[in-house]
Structure 1
């Protein structure tokens, strides 16, 4: 048996991400200055982006002696995922700085946990076997339990969901889903003897039922990460009880990790019927419940559940739908982060998302932020001028029709029409006449909004980043460029 060799260049993205976590911890211990901690995390995120681009599509490492199966597999999709995870981490840091300066959470622990979660996301993207995949997912998720619970609310604020309750809800359901996924992986391994993705096969012979049960349990367990039905109920209360930047990270990075994990499984194992059923339930339940929401973060949470259904739909095609799902996932992440970022910029530092009525007339007071939010909502709905979201949805529908799943394409279109109701409602409210002082209001914060000439935009740098990102995703050809890059 030949000795296993390690290509350290291929591991550069992981080294950069993990090194960032260590350096952030040391900066907090030795320098004890928030600026040094923030700078270390931002620099480490940029270094992770550079490392992912440099490694490109090198050969895998931690390979079996035969060389036909590796535990660490660089690819264009893995590099894209690493870049997105690192960019999201830096973006969340930018949104968090004003609140951290007010002492809403300890800066050192906050940034260390963010860097640790980024490390897990990078590992998920490059994973080449089930063990690396699940360890990466847990490394991505575990720091988030603590980040959700670190929240200290703004003075006098009475949130609907406490940080402790949100953290415990997230933790308990995550533990259950992880146990389900591990049981599925164990059953599949017992039936087929395979852990590396390149060796995963559908069961045959007497062990076929065991392998099929393992695949089903694995898919259901991993579906938790994208908040798919039936493991979806954790998302709205967890997002509501989290700091707004962490809610943005949960809605984007955590969901992207789940999409990558599911894609790695469905490409190689037959789970078409189950995945299509999950997609149908997820998009339908998400959109119908979102229609009744009156809190902004909860509306976005249910919207993100529906969006997860759109991502799952092409994954039901197996390998033929992975590229369409990946393209849609990347642009969903961008648009969702813009939406959460604008909300964080419009609210006081450390506050919750508030009632939807709080945003009445927001675009009149903060035109650029209002335009960015409208653009992100239009992209999520698949309407102009959010052309990136429009063409990303078309990519999904086209892939489903070409794959023979016309019925599912029709369901996607019908759900997209239903979603217009709440996306258009919020967008129209942004340009409605602001509330007049003296008229009874539903949310006390409405009076605050009405009596201020402008919304309390305390994140000028974040607002600039949001506007720049919004302008970039207007380019309608961007989804096709990314689709070609991943081909």
Structure 2
């Protein structure tokens, strides 16, 4: 009997636009061979992808690649939100990459092509409806980053970071694929919705040892991508060795991809009673270790890297409460998922603003340097220093960084509603610990420079200044309209 599979090209429009951007960039680079034109082509493609995703996600959910009731592509509001965020992150990273591309030996065409390919993986990831599509999309997001991390020619740290990232990522992918294969062996399905329905209809499957092993492998494999403790060791070294704009993309888009993938499998496929305790433990370890180690950092990028590890713990915390929320109302479970998505969106906006400020305050092509290199930077660049401090305060969860404040309040509220008061207390304690290094870095920006202080770097490129302004403005505006993000995340 033949099986007819439906295809909805409108639902696939964001993926078409993202993949077309990669091809368009290569053609522009080949024909014009001008750095400005190539970067502009990639920027136009990112804007088109965001617009296409917003139009496609408006209204009813569009499904395609369906066989019966099982669909591999779900273009809904959440998929549109994920695609728009990935496109905007790509646009922002392109802007802060301009000094590096203009002054260094970095090949512009290849750089923009790899970023567009990674953006394509992120767009597909948000709409993935089965394990195969999800894993392929996650690898499409990650594979170009191996090359981008190693693009600082002549830098041993960059080469070491690329190799470390490659080895760890391959191990994580292997674990995830093995877990997916074992899930298929137990259930006979790979579609996320079908897996969730099977575990609900046949609870005896949860008593099969193979099921426990499969769920553990999938969760642990994706935990590598999120840089959750104890699978985090690659992140600080990789971020510090990569070019600054690539480190910004790693700490935002790459982490967002891992969070989206983990959310998809936990929400729709894997049983919360099994994943909840594991994710709760990972959340506690991740936020605690990340914050404690960040206190001792003296290099700027390593401090931001360890803080992003801690932020991953805050994102995982609502998912860890799902085991307790499973016996409660559907509203409590929906609030936990929405809190994780909303926190991830707020985090990447603030993190991008922080990295854009570091790029602005450092010489073109340089690494992030030490905290002492930024001493007194806000005295020389008041506007940039103010934007950097606002991003740091937002990450710490203090006003006037309303986006970060709302994000932490949303997470704590979802934990309390889900019956995980002890986890809410851990989040609150870690948020207080995080204040120490965020405020210390912010204070360093206004501290009096030493007698042999570093000279002021050259004025930033207009693209970098614009990216910093836009990222900061988005973070502020989202803080004034947080319910919009939360509503989109809940759909």
Q: Structure 2 matches for 1:21-420, cutoff 5 A?
A: 21-56=22-57, 57-64=60-67, 66=68, 68-152=69-153, 162-201=157-196, 202=199, 204-205=203-204, 208-268=208-268, 269=270, 270=272, 271-318=275-322, 319-320=333-334, 321-420=336-435
Query: Which ranges in structure 2 are unaligned for 5 or more consecutive residues?
Result: 323-332
> How many positions carry a matched residue from both structures?
466
Q: Tell me by how many angstroms 1:2 deviates.
A: 4.8
TM-score (norm 1): 0.93
Q: 1:107 to 1:468 in 2, by over 3 A?
A: closer
Residue 223 of structure 1 deviates from its aligned partner by 0.9
Q: Distance in 1 between matches of 2:489 and 2:441?
A: 34
Tell me if structure 2 keeps the 8 A contact 1:336–1:376. yes
Q: Closer, same or farther in 2 for the Cα pair 1:76/1:177, shift >3 Å?
A: same
Q: Conserved in 2, the CA contact under 8 Å of 1:6 and 1:62? A: yes
Which fold has the larger relative contact order, with Cα–Cα distance below 8 Å and residues 6 or more apart in sequence?
Answer: 2
The question of 1:469 aligning with 2:471 is answered yes
Contact 1:27 1:36 in 2 (8 A): yes
Which residue is equivalent to 1:448?
A: 454
2-side partners of 1:41 and 1:221: how far apart? 31
TM-score normalized with structure 2 length: 0.92
Contact persistence 1:63–1:70 (CA under 8 A): yes
Q: Is the 8 A contact 1:347 1:457 kept in 2?
A: no
Runs (4+) of structure 1 exceeding 6 A deviation are: none
Question: Secondary structure in 1 aligned to 2:65?
Answer: strand
CA contact (8 A) 1:182 1:218 kept: yes
Deviation at 1:301, TM superposition (A): 0.2
Residues of 2 paired with 1:88 and 1:230: CA distance?
A: 27
* Cα-Cα RMSD: 1.5
C-alpha distance in structure 1 between counterparts of 2:14 and 2:267, whole Å: 24
1:166 is displaced (CA, Å) by 0.3
The CA deviation string for residues 53-75 of structure 1, in whole angstroms up to 9 with x for no partner, is 111144210011x2x11101011
Q: Contact between 2:73 and 2:128, CA under 8 Å: does it hold in 1?
A: yes
Larger displacement relative to structure 2 (30-39 or 14-23): 30-39
Deviations 1:50-105 (A, max 9, x none): 110111144210011x2x11101011111011011111111111111111111331
Structure showing the higher helix proportion among its residues = 2
Alignment partners' CA distance in 2, 1:378 and 1:87: 22
Q: Secondary structure at the match of 1:70?
A: strand
Give 1:204 deviation, angstroms. Answer: 4.3
CA shift digits 1:363-412 (9 cap, x unpaired): 11101110011000000000111011001100000000000011100000
CA distance in 2, matches of 1:232, 1:375: 27
What corresponds to 1:442 in structure 2?
none
Question: How far, CA to CA, are the matches of 1:472 and 1:124 in structure 2?
Answer: 23
Secondary structure at 1:73's aligned position in 2?
A: strand
For residue 209 of structure 1, report the CA deviation from its aligned partner.
1.8
Task: Summarize deviations over 1:17-37 as a string: whole Å, max 9, x none.
Answer: 001111111222232222221
Structure 1: gaps (5+ residues): 154-158, 438-446
Question: Structure 1: how far apart are the matches of 2:42 and 2:102?
Answer: 16
Alignment of 1:428-447 (within 5 A): 428-437=443-452, 447=453
**Cα distance in 2 for residues equivalent to 1:236 and 1:457:** 28
In the alignment, what sits opposite 2:481?
Answer: 478
